[in-house]
A and B are shown apart, each in its own frame.
Chain A
Amino acid sequence: MARSGKFWKTESTFAYLLLLPALIFLIVFMFYPIVYVFFMSFFKVNKLAELVSFSGLDNYRYMFSKPEFWQIIVRSCMWTALAVAAKTVIGLIIALLLNVDFRGRKIVRTLTIIPWASSVPISAMIWQWTYNNDFGLLNYTLQSLGIMSNPPIWLAYPRSAFFACLWVDIWCGIPFMALVFLAGLQAIPQELYEAAEVDGAGSLAKFRSVTLPLLSGVLTIATLLSILWTFNDFNVIYILTTGGPGTSTDILITYIYKYAFQYLRFGPAAAMAVITFIILLTVSIIYARNYFRRGEIL
């Protein structure tokens, strides 16, 4: 306590000084825009995104009274739940495979990463061509291998377009899951498996009583991250279908964008952005909590 208080004061002043440039940029291009969107959501806004007059909760009321909006909410939840579940299960299976000490493992690991390493917008364009009904190689391959005798025109109908987009999102997210789980698996001490073997545990019992419990930390944090990313996936849907046909493949994030920049209805778009912001904030706080509980940062 008696230690020169001044030194610490100058040290913290210095720290704030170093943080200042970064904080200014964050404030101008991120925090201020967020506040402004909150603001906007309570105003009538014209097509040039200028505030016209205070309108209270009108924008929210307008959105909530639209059945389409509720459909989009439900679809966003389905989209996130299905995609995250699929990524987690497939990622875990791939991680278990990569955890086997086989020849060529390093190369396989590298190849597995490519969908994550690739640029999402460009991947989406490649998938668009792959899904092409007449000349695309997906339907041709599915047919010639006898997996599907009559595959749909993927991007033309609401249901198939939704699953086509969903699959591309899953496909993009699998490598991250696989890598995180692999890192988690490799951190499990070998002795635990040996001890379980001594106790007469089979492979399934070992998986249930050793692997899964020890992986739970990684599982939680990866799932939370994946929820955030999946919910935020703008590129895949916008590029593959622009939310279409109609709004049948829109999720909140693409719907907001369309509302603002295609329909030029900035007020309702801002209201939806606020709702989305609150959802994201909640999940990311849960993520941050988990992150700090497991990590030894600070």
Chain B
Amino acid sequence: MKKKTFSYYLVYPAIIFVLLVLLFPFLVMISTALKPLEEVYTTPPHWIPQNLTLNNFSDVWFKYPLGTYFKNSLIVAVGTTVLNTILCIPAAYAVARLRFRAKSFIMYLFLIVQMFSPVIVVISLFKIIARLGLLNNLLSLIFTNGVFTLAFAIWLLSGYFSSVPKEIEEAALIDGCSRMQSVVRVLLPVAMPGVITTVIYTFITAWNEFMFALTFITSMDKRPLTLGLYNFVGRWTVQWQYLMAAAILALIPVVVLFMFIERDLVKGLAGGAVKG
């Protein structure tokens, strides 16, 4: 181990400062969510709740349609994930294992396409969704989120498939497996961490999506969480303690899931640059 110099101990104050800045709004969120109404609206405000309460959590669940929002977000996120996975596994397999002429072009295309802002296309997408009769239908969000996560998902997954040695599948083929069986019984189990990463990535992105929901969803009972909470701010005289309690509930699942995949995301996005 290296000698612990004076500058080593300087790291701690710096780290504490950084964490306070980065976590500041979450501390605000927790503080507010645990305060009763009267304490939220006092000037000057204070950090530590004097009458700690958990009522905000139950109120927001029972008095407001938070449950509906959760259900809608879950439908959208799961639907997007299923659609995306069905489309992405064969495509990633083709890119990783088969030889065809347009391969580099297609990979290039996928890399570029993931950078397009949905706002560019939302104008015409709105018309397409309307023509398909999918306005105010959760399917519209499943399709659009599915497509806008597809390129990166194929990209991530094909990287995983390529890292599995071909020989394992070839051995299975020699043993009399069909190509389909070699994929389902050999490749997919070995590449399972990659499939899981892709699934989590898609789920999180769909769960967090806001702009498409804002555009395509018009009735309250179809709102996913992000849109539901956004309208919370507008509709009811803002009860910030409720919004903060709802935010905690909405954030926990995605933050936890995200921790499983952050390393893969960094690698997938920065490519060879971080492989060292």
Q: Which residues of A contact B258 (CB under 8 A)?
A: 113, 116-117
Query: Is B29's CB within 8 Å of the partner chain A?
Result: yes
Q: Which residues of A contact B54 (CB under 8 A)?
A: none
**Is A114 a contact of B207 with CB atoms below 8 Å?**
no
Query: Is A81's CB within 8 Å of the partner chain B?
Result: no
Specify the chain A residue showing the minimal Cβ separation from B91: A22
Interface size in chain B (residues, C-beta < 8 A):
103
Residue A284 contacts which of B32, B112, B247, B276 (CB distance < 8 angstroms)? Answer: B112
CB distance from B203 to the nearest CB of A (A): 12
Query: Is A154's CB within 8 Å of the partner chain B?
Result: no
CB distance from B255 to the nearest CB of A (A): 4
Contact with A along B75-94 (1 / 0, CB 8 A): 00000000000111011011
**Is A140 a contact of B44 with CB atoms below 8 Å?**
yes
Q: Which residues of A contact B18 (CB under 8 A)?
A: 94, 97, 112
- Mark out the residues of chain A between 246 and 298 whose CB falls within 8 Å of any chain B CB in the assembled complex: 253-254, 256-257, 260-261, 266, 269-270, 273, 276-277, 280-281, 283-285, 287-288, 290-292, 294-298
**Is B119 a contact of A136 with CB atoms below 8 Å?**
no
Query: Is A118's CB within 8 Å of the partner chain B?
Result: yes
**Is B99 a contact of A15 with CB atoms below 8 Å?**
yes
Query: Is B150's CB within 8 Å of the partner chain A?
Result: yes
Query: Is A60's CB within 8 Å of the partner chain B?
Result: no
Contact with B along A3-36 (1 / 0, CB 8 A): 0000010011011101101110110111011101
**Is B273 a contact of A217 with CB atoms below 8 Å?**
yes
Residue A119 contacts which of B87, B143, B208 (CB distance < 8 angstroms)? Answer: B208
CB distance from A271 to the nearest CB of B (A): 11
Known: A18-B93, A102-B8. A126 touches B29 (CB 8 A): yes
Query: Is B63's CB within 8 Å of the partner chain A?
Result: no
CB distance from B161 to the nearest CB of A (A): 12
Residue B119 contacts which of A26, A221, A232 (CB distance < 8 angstroms)? Answer: A232
Query: Is B2's CB within 8 Å of the partner chain A?
Result: yes
Known: A119-B226, A281-B112. A26 touches B147 (CB 8 A): yes
Give the segment of A67-75, A157-165, A172-180 that binds chain B.
Answer: A172-180
- Mark out the residues of chain A between 209 and 254 whose CB falls within 8 Å of any chain B CB in the assembled complex: 217-218, 220-222, 225, 228, 231-232, 234-235, 238-239, 253-254
- Mark out the residues of chain B between 1 and 60 whose CB falls within 8 Å of any chain A CB in the assembled complex: 1-2, 8, 11-12, 14-15, 18-19, 21-29, 31-32, 40-45, 47
Give Cα distance in the complex from A254 to B214, angstroms.
13
**Is B119 a contact of A253 with CB atoms below 8 Å?**
yes
Known: A33-B124, A175-B22. A26 touches B90 (CB 8 A): no
Query: Is A89's CB within 8 Å of the partner chain B?
Result: no
**Is A22 a contact of B250 with CB atoms below 8 Å?**
no
Query: Is A195's CB within 8 Å of the partner chain B?
Result: no
Give Cα distance in the complex from A21 to B98, angstroms.
16
Known: A25-B87, A126-B29, A140-B45. A114 touches B255 (CB 8 A): yes
**Is B215 a contact of A261 with CB atoms below 8 Å?**
yes
Specify the chain B residue showing the minimal Cβ separation from A174: B22
The interface residues of chain A, by DSSP majority, are classed as helix
CB distance from B198 to the nearest CB of A (A): 13
- Chain A contact-residue range equals 35 or more
Q: Which residues of A contact B275 (CB under 8 A)?
A: 187, 295-296
Give Cα distance in the complex from A212 to B115, angstroms.
27
Query: Is B174's CB within 8 Å of the partner chain A?
Result: no
Query: Is A156's CB within 8 Å of the partner chain B?
Result: no
**Is A135 a contact of B42 with CB atoms below 8 Å?**
yes
Give Cα distance in the complex from A220 to B214, angstroms.
34
Query: Is A111's CB within 8 Å of the partner chain B?
Result: yes
Residue B274 contacts which of A118, A183, A280 (CB distance < 8 angstroms)? Answer: A183
Q: Which residues of A contact B255 (CB under 8 A)?
A: 114, 117-118
Known: A22-B150, A122-B251, A125-B233. A110 touches B101 (CB 8 A): no
19 contacts between A and B (CB under 8 A): A11-B100, A12-B100, A19-B106, A22-B150, A22-B154, A29-B147, A119-B226, A121-B230, A135-B43, A137-B31, A140-B44, A180-B269, A218-B270, A239-B210, A277-B116, A280-B115, A291-B271, A298-B103, A298-B107
4 more contacts with CB within 8 A, not counting A29-B147, A108-B19, A294-B271, are A29-B125, A32-B124, A291-B273, A297-B159
B contact residues vs A (CB 8 Å cutoff):
1-2, 8, 11-12, 14-15, 18-19, 21-29, 31-32, 40-45, 47, 86-88, 90-91, 93-95, 98-101, 103-104, 106-108, 111-113, 115-128, 143-144, 146-148, 150-151, 154, 159, 162, 207-208, 210-211, 214-215, 225-226, 229-230, 233, 240, 243-244, 247, 250-251, 254-255, 258-259, 262, 266-267, 269-276
